Amino acid sequence: MTIVKIELKNLYDDFRDAQTIKAYAKIIKEDAQKLDKTINIMEVCGGHTHTIMKYGLPQLMPENINFIHGPGCPVCIMPKERIDHAYVLAMQEDVILVTLGDMIKVPGSNGSLQDARSKGADVRFVYSPLDCLKIAEQSPDKKVIFFAIGFETTTPMTAVLLEQVINKKIENILFHINHVTVPEVMQELIDSRDVHVDSYNNKIDAFIGPSHVSVIAGSQIYAPFPKTYGRPVVVSGFEPVDVMEGISMIVKQFVENRCTLEIQYKRAVISEGNVNAQAFIEKYFEKADLFKWRGLGNIPQSGLKLRNAYAKYDAEVVYTKVLPIKEIEDHKLCICGDILRGMAKPPECSIFGTACKPTTPIGSCMVSSEGACAAYYKYGNLLK
């Protein structure tokens, strides 16, 4: 019997094949010639933004197919008020603040969590929320506060951690919940309800739907956009061939005068999503009336909070007396809000690449590895 060794790259090679990418580019170009207007396609997810930029996909597009970038980065959309919560919590006596990756670099009004750590705060980042269990066990005299971020993709893991905390009767883990949901912000981008944000002149003609979010929530969450708002949605994978096929599917809809929800990423996404993960989310979370998105304002029903039954694990309840409530404006020269709404691109910002760059980020879109500004800074030389 012959044993074939499969390496990781064998699983993605075909999805990065140059000839396949060029073949899709040719199909898109031929179909785009049949259009009578420019099609602005918003990729909602920051992972798609980086694929688009890293592989130079804009230079493969005809002039009437345009990418605009959305708010699909959980670090980028975190408002300064929530960062200030994390900062204040980290500075409390006997607290270990735990969060994920890039979150420690995002500046609030008092500085970033990285700054708090330089002042003696115990701030740690983890790859999995479940790492909090070990931290709490090793530090029984400390309060471990998990600053939870992310879209539908990461929410189930926070729910699993909470269930572990409850079942194991762990008393020194608390949660600061900052989980948000995608459909509500997509709706907001089309039909603003915030008096501070004019989204009525948005440029969005179609959406590339997030892939990982859709694995959990299912493609069904995007059904209203073709039906109610007249915007096609194609749920696409993250690899360049995935994105190119997704764009081709969108362009064909316009050529054929169709407006529907389609799944390109069929190898991982189904209509109903992961119902077990959804049940975990439903068990422990409920919708918050409002959640403020950085640069976008307050969006109704777009965030999650712990159900009242679990209030004793909620850091916002336990530490309510010390948490600031003042609203904070972003830097006057930063246009991250316009970028997150698809109204501008990073090079249009006056401080892009000068005062604001990955080593000295001013805006959240430059801080995160998934942010549009970071993608343009790193791969902008690939633009035509």
Residue 280 has pLDDT above 90, yes or no: yes
Confidence of residue 327 (pLDDT cuts 50, 70, 90): confident
Domain for residue 294, yes or no? yes
Cα separation, 97 vs 112, in Å, equals: 13
Cα separation, 295 vs 338, in Å, equals: 7
Report percent pLDDT > 70 for the chain.
Answer: 93
Confidence of residue 361 (pLDDT cuts 50, 70, 90): confident
Domain for residue 234, yes or no? no
Do residues 216 and 156 make contact, with C-beta atoms less than 8 angstroms apart? yes
Confidence of residue 346 (pLDDT cuts 50, 70, 90): very high
pLDDT given at position 194: 47
Do residues 74 and 151 make contact, with C-beta atoms less than 8 angstroms apart? yes
Cα separation, 354 vs 94, in Å, equals: 39
Confidence of residue 135 (pLDDT cuts 50, 70, 90): very high
Domain for residue 129, yes or no? yes
The average pLDDT across 314-323 equals: 98
Domain for residue 118, yes or no? yes
**In whole angstroms, how far apart are CA 380 and each of 176, 197, 209, 338?**
36, 28, 23, 19
Residue-wise pLDDT tens digits, 52-79: 999 999 999 999 999 999 888 888 899 9
Among 99, 122, 103, 125, CA closest to 112: 103
The average pLDDT across 274-285 equals: 97
Domain for residue 237, yes or no? no
Residue 199 has pLDDT above 50, yes or no: no
pLDDT given at position 246: 98
pLDDT given at position 90: 98
User: Against a cut of 0.85, is the pTM above it?
Assistant: yes
Alpha-helical segments (H) within the chain:
8-12, 18-32, 46-54, 80-90, 113-118, 131-138, 155-167, 182-190, 211-217, 224-229, 240-255, 275-284, 315-318, 336-340, 364-367, 372-379
Domain for residue 115, yes or no? yes
DSSP state of 191: S
**297 or 301, greater pLDDT:** 301
Residue-wise pLDDT tens digits, 253-267: 999 999 999 999 999
Among 71, 70, 67, CA closest to 384: 67
**243 or 190, greater pLDDT:** 243
Residue-wise pLDDT tens digits, 176-190: 999 999 999 999 888
* Total tally of structural domains belonging to the chain: 1
Residue 283 has pLDDT above 80, yes or no: yes
Domain range spanning residue 280? 80-179+274-318
pLDDT given at position 182: 96
CATH number, domain of 153, equals 3.40.50.11740
Residue-wise pLDDT tens digits, 81-122: 999 999 999 999 999 999 987 788 888 889 899 999 999 999
